[in-house]
Amino acid sequence: MELSELYKIFLQSTGVCTDTRGLAPGNIFFALKGDNFNGNEYAIKAIESGASYAVIDEPGALAHPRFILTSQVLKTLQDLAKMHRQQFRIPFIAITGSNGKTTTKELAHAVLSTHFKTYTTSGNLNNHIGIPLTLLRVNADAQMAIVEMGANHLHEIEGYCRYALPTHGLITNCGKAHLEGFGSTENIMKGKGELFDFIRETGGSVFINNDYDYLLKLSKGISTQVSYGTKNADYTGEPISSTDGFLEVKVTKGAQLPRIKTQLVGDYNLPNVLAAIAMGKTFGVPDEKIQKALQEYAPSNSRSQMIEKNGAKIILDAYNANPSSMQAAIANFGKMHGGPKYVFLGGMKEMGAESKQEHLALINLLKSYTWEKVVLVGKEFSEVPAPFVHVEKVEDARPWLKKIPLEGARILIKGSRGISMEKLLEGF
């Protein structure tokens, strides 16, 4: 079947699906394959469950008139997403970076959706499967789209750009994330910079944090740039001292906004807020709408999230972790008012050969503050000496959390996604 014919079928469908457990009647089922699953084995089930068609790449013994055979299901999904993307003449903003990309995406969506019909990445669907699914969920009424792009090796962002076709790009930062896949910090910058390379080649625009010299270098040659940061930028702002841990922002240039009191924990979220302001102003969102959106946005995805329980303030930032985000979280918690303070830190995944060195650096940083108790979770910390409690699993850390007298306590919970530090709070 020609791609154009499949696209006609798509336009008559209720959308696409890659998992029969989330199938809606009228969906097209794409039988993707992975290391531990083969969607072709569920194609019949998808049809029986109400799928309009099933796209497969293994003929199998059970043919069906509503099976569409392709050479590779994933590539067909991506090609279909590109064809759908090409129907739109609206801004498509791509956001990538080592830290803060999901929060920046959520804040930008909160701001832009007050003024435009805006579609964005759902949750953390920012990979080779999630990005096509995001594109295919953009409806004809769209006025704006935001696509989050994650990456753990070179040429990944480059590949995403070929079918997402962003008109605008933003790199939050380039930290030591996914070192195992990228191999070096230089490759991390090169990999994230693939977004700006595409924007440069296609004549698009970028939003750039002027506080990072390396981003200025990566953006050279791009004619249209909108800058934000703490100084020397189109949109500037600074954090205001807060006693409750929540970030408050004073905008010093670019927008007539009074003090913005966010529901995000930590000054390290300042660039994310400024990026959303820069995007809102660039596309003509009124200041009062920007203000309202930023103040009303409340994280619920284990990112910079404050939970209050029985007099304790728990900072849950457990969706991801790398050296720069860990250091920022510890430093921010260290200067937070109140106490006593308890730290529950999970190991950092995908650090490769630098894992031991980076975890030791965290230990040394923790030792420079005064804590009531520090509990380290995961095998990554077992390789470095530390004067703190160490356990292998989250479940083993839960008894330490339950011992804490909650009234007045401050608790930081952070770690890599693979550690699942949020499980500490189960039944708490």
CA-CA distance, 274 to 85, in Å (whole number)?
28
Shared domain check, 198 and 167? yes
Shared domain check, 342 and 399? yes
Q: What is the pLDDT of residue 60?
A: 72
Shared domain check, 397 and 290? no
220: three-class secondary structure by DSSP: coil
Report CA 363 to chain centroid distance, whole Å: 26
Shared domain check, 286 and 387? no
CA-CA distance, 136 to 131, in Å (whole number)?
9
The continuous run of DSSP H or E covering 22 comes out as: none
Q: Does 368 reside within a domain?
A: yes
Q: How large is the average pLDDT for residues 181-194?
A: 85
CA-CA distance, 26 to 50, in Å (whole number)?
6
The continuous run of DSSP H or E covering 319 comes out as: none
In this predicted structure, the answer to whether residue 3 has a pLDDT above a threshold of 80 is yes
Q: Which residues does 269 contact at the CB level (< 8 Å), separation at least 6?
A: 100, 103, 247, 262, 304
Backbone angles phi, psi at 161, to 5 degrees: -65, -25
Q: Does 369 reside within a domain?
A: yes
Closest CA to 30 of 83, 2, 70, 86: 70
Among 60-74, 101-115, 133-147, 276-290, the minimum mean pLDDT is found in 60-74
Q: Does 82 reside within a domain?
A: no
The domain that holds 321 is classified in CATH as 3.90.190.20
Shared domain check, 326 and 285? no
Going by DSSP bridges, is the β-strand pair 341-346/373-377 parallel, antiparallel, or unpaired?
parallel
Q: Does 81 reside within a domain?
A: no
Q: How large is the average pLDDT for residues 183-209?
A: 94
Q: Are 267 and 67 in contact (CB under 8 A)?
A: no
Q: Does 421 reside within a domain?
A: yes
**Total structural domains within the chain:** 3
Q: Is 132 exposed, middle or buried (0-12, 13-18, 19+ CB in 10 A)?
A: buried
Looking at 274, 296, 318, the residue that finishes a domain is 296
Structure tokens, 146: 């935001």
Closest CA to 14 of 137, 109, 114, 146: 137
Q: Does 351 reside within a domain?
A: yes
In this predicted structure, the answer to whether residue 339 has a pLDDT above a threshold of 90 is no
Query: What percentage of residues in the chain have a pLDDT greater than 90?
Result: 77
Shared domain check, 155 and 30? no
Shared domain check, 188 and 112? yes
In this predicted structure, the answer to whether residue 38 has a pLDDT above a threshold of 90 is yes
Shared domain check, 348 and 399? yes
Shared domain check, 102 and 61? no
In 71-185, which ranges are E strands?
Answer: 92-96, 118-120, 144-148, 168-171
Shared domain check, 186 and 94? yes
Query: What percentage of residues in the chain have a pLDDT greater than 70?
Result: 97
Among 98-102, 243-247, 375-379, the minimum mean pLDDT is found in 243-247
Closest CA to 376 of 390, 365, 387, 362: 390
Grade residue 45 by pLDDT with cuts at 50, 70 and 90: very high
Please report, for residues 1, 114, 170, 174, 206, the alpha-carbon distance to residue 226 in angstroms, rounded to integers and kept in the order given: 44, 21, 10, 19, 6
Q: Does 78 reside within a domain?
A: no
The domain that holds 39 is classified in CATH as 3.40.1390.10
Q: Are 121 and 135 in contact (CB under 8 A)?
A: no
Range of the domain at 255: 88-296
Q: Does 291 reside within a domain?
A: yes
Q: What is the pLDDT of residue 249?
A: 96
The domain that holds 214 is classified in CATH as 3.40.1190.10
Render pLDDT for 217-254 as a digit per residue (tens, 0 to 9). 999 999 999 999 999 999 999 999 776 778 999 999 99
Q: Tell me which amino acid residue 93 is.
A: I
Question: Is-cis flag, bond preceding 340, omega within 30?
Answer: yes
Q: Which residue has the tokens 């090169």?
A: 190
Q: How large is the average pLDDT for residues 71-77?
A: 97
